[in-house]
Structures are given as C-alpha cells and as structure tokens.
A and B are shown apart, each in its own frame.
Chain A
Amino acid sequence: MLDYIWPALLNLLSPANIAIIIVSGFIGTLAGAMPGVSASAITAIFIPFTVWLPTDIAIVALIALYASATYGGSITAILYRIPGTPTSVMTTIDGYEMTKKGRSGEALMLSRFYSLLGGLIGGLFIIFMTPLFVDIAIMFRSQEIFALILMALAFLATFEGGVKALLSAFFGFFLATIGQDPLTGIFRFTFDIPLMGGGLGIVPVFLGLFAVSEILRLMEGELHPFVASEKYRFRELLTPSWNFFKKSAPLIFVIAIPIGFLIGVLPGVGATTAAVVSYTMAKGMSKKPEEWGKGIPEGVAVPEAANNAAAMGTLVLTLTLGIPGGATAALILGALIMHGATPGRYIFKDNPLLGYTILLGAIISNIVFYVTAPIVIRMFVKLGEFLRRNIPQMAVLIVFFSIIGTYVIRNSVFDSATVLVLGIIGYLMSKCKIPLGPAAITFVLGPLAEKYFRRALDISRGDFTTFVSSPVSISIYVLTLALIVLPRIYLKMKQAKDPEKTN
C-alpha cells in the first residue's frame, strides 16, 4: 500500500491538480450553501465538465465537490435555519439557536472545524480500514438496519419532547409513504394526480417545514431572530478552544466519527442518516441532554463530524465492491465507468495508483474546503448582518431561495405547492409546540424503514420474531435501551449523592 501512497500524493500535489481541487471546493461550498442545490445535484451537474480531465483527477474533483457541498449546506442551516443540503438538517437545530444567541461565528467555525475533522479521519478510515468495514457492513441484514432506525426513533421520542415528538415523527413517516410504493409499484395517497406519483421531494419538504414556516412565524410578529449583535473576528475563530475540544472529544471520537463512517458504509443509508443517528446518540450520551436543541455547541460539532465522516464512508463500498453507499456515491461510480475504469476491488488490483489517488484526494479535498470556506462564510455572514436589521427582506430572501431551490431539483409545480402546504402545516405544528425536527428526520428515514421492515418480514414469511432473532439486532436494542436508561440511572445516582449540585 505504501508503495502507491507516495506517488499518488505527488500526483495530487501538482499545481494544476491543486487548482482543480480548490475550484471544485469553492464551487461545492457555494452550491451547498444554496438551499435546494444538494450535493448530488452539484455532483451531477459537474460530471460532464470532468470528461476532459484524467480519470483520477476527475473523480477527486467530484469528491471535492461532494465533500465541500456537504459542508456548505451547514452555512445557511446555521445562519437562516435553511439546511442547504439534507445532510445539514441536524446542524439547523442547534446552529440556528446559536445564531439567535449571537454566536453564529462560533457555530460556523465549529461546523467548519468538525467537518474537516470528520472528513480527515473518515478519509484515513477509508485508506486503512476499508476491508474491515466492508465485512461489518455485509453483516447488516434488513432486520438489523431496521433496528438501527428504531434506535433513532427511540432516541427522538426520549429526548425531543415525548409524545409530541413521536407524533411529529409519525407525521414524517406518513409524508414519506406518499407516492409510488417502491416494492410493488402501487400508488399510495396520490388521488390520481400524476405529479404526486413520484412522492414528496426531500428539498420541498425541508424547505416547507423549516423555511416557509419560519417566514410565517417571522411575519406574525411573535419571533425575532438574530436578536444579538455580533462582531465576526475570524482570526479568533479559526479553531475551537482546547477546553471545548477536550470536553466534546468523547462524543466526536467515540460516536460521531465512527458511527457516521459506519452508517456511510452501509449501502443506501447515507450522510443524512449518519448525522441524525449520531446526533440522537450523542444527545443520549450527553450529561445534559435537555440542553441539546437550545444552541449547544456539541449540537453543531457532532452532526458535522458525522456527515463528513459518512461522506467518506459512502466511498468504501463504491470503490471496493462497486456498490454505491448513497446517491452521490452512485454518481461518482457512474463517472468512474464513464472514464473507462472498472469499479470494484479490481481498481486496487489492476490500477492501484488510481485507487489510492482517489482515496488520498478525498482527504486533500477536505483540507482544501477548510481553506476556501471562510470566503463563502464571509459572503453569507455579511448578508446575514444586513438581514438581521431588515426582517421583510430576509423573509423575501427565504421565499426566493425556497422557490428557486425547489424548482432546480425537479422543475415541478407540485413541489412548489408542497413547500407552501408544508410551510403552513409546519407553522401550525410549531404553534402547537410540536417539534419539527423529528418529522424531517423520519421523512428521510421513512423509505428505508419501510423497505427493511417489509423485506425482513417477507424473508421470514411474516414472522415478527425475525426482528429480535439476530445477535446484531439484539445488541442494537440493548444498546438503545442502555443509552436511554443508563444516563438517567447515572443522573439519579448523582442526584442522590449530591442533590444541590445536580439540581
């Protein structure tokens, strides 16, 4: 392996190749920050422009776009509560709360730093631990993946607000059932409207629930965002404090990065689920779960580290077995085939230099977007400062991004209607104190949950005990129970020991 790493590194570090990665990183960050322009969309758009590049650099440029767009999505999530990409939906929760408290600069720094950390460690994982992770991922069957999804649901119900969080979660699952059933092709709840056949798009649902409902809240005069005035000194905000780094290290290095990477490796699960699961798990492990969702810095660091580690993880199966780990990985796989390379383990056997250049390129692209991000952040922060003083202009900007962001995905009128209807529903939900986060999360998890639930039952001929029949799924349930119950027992014990301090 080491015989190939050095030549691959020399190849990547040529000025022309670095320039290509920088340009890709900049475009990716900017595009990721535009609501509606998902990492997959920007990767797809740029595939034709990589035809004239050598195969290795073309793939590295696409990976740089993917990784930087994954990060870029967090910029608008933090500043405007609009997740630029679905992967940054969890960052929205605490990131925006930090912005409301006048700590947006810190939130942006945390997002940038932990994205880099997640991407770098995820990249190192790919190089050194790929064979091991492939073995683990292959062990996961339908019932085990379903157990992982139930784990996320259990954490949501426990930590997001009890019954109302569950109601929101079921609503998200329901939204995901609208459209064509992927297993039988039967249309559900479409009322013979052809446009509804494709189901609700992830971007219109998120923009409706988060962006439009936010505008309605802004315009009713009840909520005043960006209340705190803040000066952005980026020199002081390059890295988090050593104390915070030390304090959050267990959540980042034990949960966010390994879990994020592992979920990224699982076929079809992807970076959004990684952010969701690691956020909920980290919240469960946290000593103060009640502070999550109210602007805790760990709430930004954990999902950002996890989604970038997952973005790296999705490349594992793509490059070693030719199975894409997610939508963007599928596009990268297509680009590899377009360039005449054979994806799968033969990449490393027949053309190891290509394989290792791609893997190292994934790591270098993470460093590149760490450098390019401040320019994009500055642009968005300046805009944020202006909008802080001009709420109607901000409302208009959110509508503008929502409509354009919806249009560029599918060019569909139906999607615009979805944004509006879900905006009103989201507004009513927030008036009834029903959290919106669980609905967004289960909307992403819904198709996976149903697919694995039905597949497991089909294979077991309808036997429900299949969900508790394997050691892996039992371990997941036990772990879930432990993560919910143990912190409470720990708190109770602590309270019994020192009631004043615990209170």
Chain B
Amino acid sequence: MSLFFIYSSLQLPKTRWTIVGPEVWPMIVLIGIMVTSFISLLELILKRKTISKSKSKLGKIYIKRMVATIIYIVSYAVTFYYTGFLFSTIITTTLYLMYVGLKPWKALITSFIYASFALITFPVLLFIPLPTGFGIFRDITSSILILLGR
C-alpha cells in the first residue's frame, strides 16, 4: 500500500514556486510507514511462538455479530440520508437490536428513545438540522418538527 501511495506521490504535479513540493511530506511519511511496518513485521516473526500461544486464549469471536454490526452501521449511514434521521434510527436500530437478541418491544422502545433524543436535542434545542429524507419520510418528519415548533 505504501509503495502504491509513494508511486501516487511521485505522479503529483511539480510546482515552480515552492522548493518543497506537495509530494515530499507524504513520501517522508510513507517511507516512515514502510520502515516501521517492516520492523513490526520482524518483531512479529521473532515473537511468533508467543503470539500463537496467546491467540488460542482469545476465545470465541462472534464473527456473525460483527458482520451484522458492520451491516448495521452501513445501513444506518445510508438510510440516514434517504429516509431521514427519525425513520433511519427507528427501523435500522430496531432490526439490529432484535438480531443481537433483544425482545422486539425492548428493541422498539430503545430505538424510539434514541430517535426522540435526536429529535429534541439537535433540531429543537441546538438548532442543528438533521436530514428529513425524501417523499413520505420527509413529510412525516417535517410535520413532527413543525409540531415541536421547528
């Protein structure tokens, strides 16, 4: 990766009005990354036996739950813009909490609490607008905001 970015740095256009061009600092940094990575790798190889022993002590890693968490973050970030913050928070959070083992009513209440917190704190108290989404989502969120005086 560092080599690729060093190559990209070398492709940057040169400037006549500065002695140190825009490529110099990134190259120093990338060489630093390469050198420190190499030394870390050497250390890792030298300590390989110790690491393989400690690895077995880590226990069960919940891969499915981690993947679900990543999917939840991605879907929350994406739906945040299209359905607005209210619906995005309620829908994705409820589904995720149900997946990780919460009872549906508990998941729904938690999502409602977070969505209400966002609604009251940001657009109402701090005057920070949050996305209201498109179509019907925007209409509903806007109506709620109007009811709250925003």
A177 touches B25 (CB 8 A): yes
Contacting residues of chain A (198-246) with chain B, CB-CB under 8 angstroms: 212, 215-216, 219-222
Across the interface, do B9 and A184 meet the contact criterion of CB distance under 8 Å? no
Cβ–Cβ contact B58 & A222, under 8 A:
yes
Contact of A170 with B12 at beta-carbon distance under 8 Å, contacts A416-B77, A423-B73 already known: no
Question: Do residues A221 and B93 form an inter-chain contact, with CB atoms below 8 A?
Answer: no
Q: Which of A174, A434, A454 contacts B24 (CB 8 A)?
A: A454
* Cβ A458 vs Cβ B73 within 8 A: no
Q: What residues of A have a CB within 8 angstroms of the CB of B72 in the complex?
A: 399
Given the complex of chains A and B, what is the CA–CA distance between A150 and B36 in angstroms?
17
Assembled-state Cα–Cα distance A188/B118 (Å): 36
Which residues of A from 341 to 371 have beta carbons under 8 Å from B? none
The answer to whether A45 and B128 touch across the interface, beta carbons within 8 angstroms, is yes
Is B59 interfacial (CB-CB < 8 Å)?
yes
Given contacts A37-B128, A396-B97, contact A404 B85 (CB under 8 A): yes
**Residues A457 and B33 in contact in the complex (CB < 8 Å), given A222-B58, A416-B77:** no
Chain A: interface residue total (CB-CB under 8 A)? 58
Q: Which positions 10-69 of chain B face chain A at CB distance < 8 Å?
A: 12-13, 15, 18-26, 29-30, 32-33, 36-37, 39-40, 43, 58-63, 65-66, 68-69
What is the 8 Å Cβ interface bit string for chain B, positions 111-130, against chain A (1 contact, 0 not)?
00010001001100011101
- Interface contact B29-A174, CB-CB below 8 Å: yes
Interchain CB contact under 8 A, A188 and B122: no
Chain A residues with Cβ below 8 Å from B100 are: 219, 392
Q: Which residues of A60-80 are within 8 A (CB) of B?
A: none
A416 touching B80 in the complex, CB below 8 Å, given contacts A184-B18, A404-B118: yes
Known: A392-B101, A396-B97. A461 touches B32 (CB 8 A): no
CB < 8 Å neighbour of B20 from A186, A411, A462: A462
Question: 19 A-B pairs, CB-CB below 8 angstroms?
Answer: A167-B37, A177-B29, A181-B22, A186-B12, A188-B8, A216-B69, A219-B66, A219-B68, A219-B100, A220-B61, A221-B59, A221-B62, A222-B58, A400-B118, A407-B131, A420-B74, A453-B20, A457-B19, A461-B19
